[in-house]
């Protein structure tokens, strides 16, 4: 089971990534280490990475940092199926490579990404159960699964006596599809903790960018898929809510809105100042009225979601 006391995690997509996040130019490893230490100081111990981030460099950096601290971290990494992965031994090889990069004997949460090629959902569940039996992983999570895939995986894994701990999926004020496609209701009914990827919509919800001054490079296209014609009024409202809560900025409001729903946001960090802003999110909570206002501005309330969860239980 995913720890109930964890309400904020740190994503490490930016760690080592030069193509999208400009690692090595705008920030360096020493900036990441200072941010990492600040996270620990503020009680943040959940870090999520992937062998797909900078071709494994993110895992290596996290493993290096973890080896320098006595604090017990909660580390999640991913299995990313490739079209040439057809056997359970391919799964095990990828897992062991992640263990080496992370300098671990066991991974706390191994999150499975959607199948590719002949590696079916059922085979992924069987491979996960084998890794659990061997003690190479502590728990299994999912990343990017849709409702049907998650249901199939959950049923297959349960045959071995195991359950899914968490599910990572894009979720933020501008991306709320899991509320209407049944995935969030399924996770709540199955006691699966939801982890919000891209909680700041690639930076769109920070208030630092707009259509006149978007981010540069490939990140611009990724960010603009979140664009909404109501962005101006949304950001004004977020600023107003922030002012009502001792001057919090839009990014802190966006993260707190997610936490308000019992979902764990997974913001990335590159600098110490950014890290301090993110970790402060755990020390306050917006009112129900403020959360409801943001719900209304971005699409819906949780009434239907609650009805769906009750029906599935």
Task: Judge whether 2 lies within some domain.
Answer: no
Instruction: Compute CA 116 distance to the chain's CA centroid, rounded to the nearest angstrom.
Output: 21
Task: Judge whether 100 lies within some domain.
Answer: yes
Task: Judge whether 4 lies within some domain.
Answer: no
Give the CATH number for residue 166. Answer: 3.20.20.100
Looking at the structure of the chain, the number of domains it has is: 1
Task: Judge whether 202 lies within some domain.
Answer: yes
pLDDT band (50, 70, 90) for residue 307:
very low
pLDDT of residue 229: 79
Query: Looking at 15-19, 64-68, 84-88, 129-133, which range is the least confident one?
Result: 84-88
pLDDT of residue 118: 82
Which domain range does residue 29 map to? 10-312
Task: Judge whether 3 lies within some domain.
Answer: no
Q: Of 220, 207, 200, nearest to 270 (Cα)?
A: 200
pLDDT of residue 24: 86
pLDDT of residue 227: 75
Average pLDDT, integer, range 261-288: 95
pLDDT of residue 308: 39
| Cα–Cα distances in angstroms (integers) from residue 222 to residues 225, 281, 296, in the given order | 6, 25, 25
Nearest-angstrom CA–CA distance, 127 and 200: 33
pLDDT band (50, 70, 90) for residue 5:
very high
Average pLDDT, integer, range 10-36: 91
Task: Judge whether 232 lies within some domain.
Answer: yes
User: Do 128 and 94 form a contact (C-beta atoms < 8 A)?
Assistant: no
Task: Judge whether 47 lies within some domain.
Answer: yes
Please indicate whether residue 224 or residue 289 has the higher confidence score (pLDDT): 289
Residue 148 sits at φ, ψ, to 5 deg, of -65, -45
Nearest-angstrom CA–CA distance, 209 and 212: 8
Task: Judge whether 92 lies within some domain.
Answer: yes
Name the pTM for this structure.
0.90
Please indicate whether residue 181 or residue 207 has the higher confidence score (pLDDT): 181
pLDDT band (50, 70, 90) for residue 278:
very high
User: Do 107 and 79 form a contact (C-beta atoms < 8 A)?
Assistant: no
Largest CA distance in the chain: 55
Task: Give the tens place of pLDDT for each residue, 202-237.
Answer: 888 988 765 455 555 566 666 667 777 788 899 999
User: Considering the chain, what is the average pLDDT of its residues?
Assistant: 90
């Amino acid at each position: 089971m995913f720890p109930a006391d964890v309400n904020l995690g740190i994503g490490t997509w930016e760690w080592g990534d030069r193509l999208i996040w400009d690692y090595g130019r705008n920030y360096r490893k020493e900036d990441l280490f200072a941010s990492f230490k600040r996270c620990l100081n503020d009680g943040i111990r959940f870090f999520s990475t992937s062998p797909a981030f900078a071709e494994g460099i993110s895992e290596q950096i996290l493993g290096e940092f973890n080896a320098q601290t006595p604090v017990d971290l909660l580390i999640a990494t991913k299995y990313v199926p490739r079209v040439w992965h057809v056997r359970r031994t391919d799964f095990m090889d990828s897992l062991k490579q992640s263990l080496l990069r992370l300098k671990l004997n066991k991974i706390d949460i191994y999150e499975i990404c959607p199948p590719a090629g002949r590696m079916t959902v059922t085979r992924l569940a069987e491979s996960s159960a084998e890794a659990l039996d061997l003690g190479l992983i502590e728990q299994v999570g999912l990343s990017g699964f849709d409702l049907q895939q998650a249901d199939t995986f959950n049923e297959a894994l349960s045959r071995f006596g195991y359950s899914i701990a968490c599910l990572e999926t894009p979720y933020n004020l501008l991306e709320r599809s899991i509320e209407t496609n049944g995935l969030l209701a399924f996770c709540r009914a199955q006691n699966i903790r939801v982890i919000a990827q891209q909680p700041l919509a690639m930076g769109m919800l920070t208030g630092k960018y707009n259509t006149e001054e978007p981010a540069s490079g490939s990140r611009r296209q990724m960010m603009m898929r979140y664009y909404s014609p109501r962005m101006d009024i949304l950001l004004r409202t977020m600023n107003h809510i922030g002012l009502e809560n001792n001057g919090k900025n839009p990014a802190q409001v966006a993260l707190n809105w997610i936490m308000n729903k019992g979902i764990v946001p997974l913001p990335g960090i590159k600098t110490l100042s950014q890290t301090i802003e993110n970790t402060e999110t755990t020390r306050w909570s917006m009112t129900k009225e403020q959360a409801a206002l943001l719900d209304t501005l971005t699409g819906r309330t949780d009434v239907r979601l609650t009805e769906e969860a009750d029906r599935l239980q």
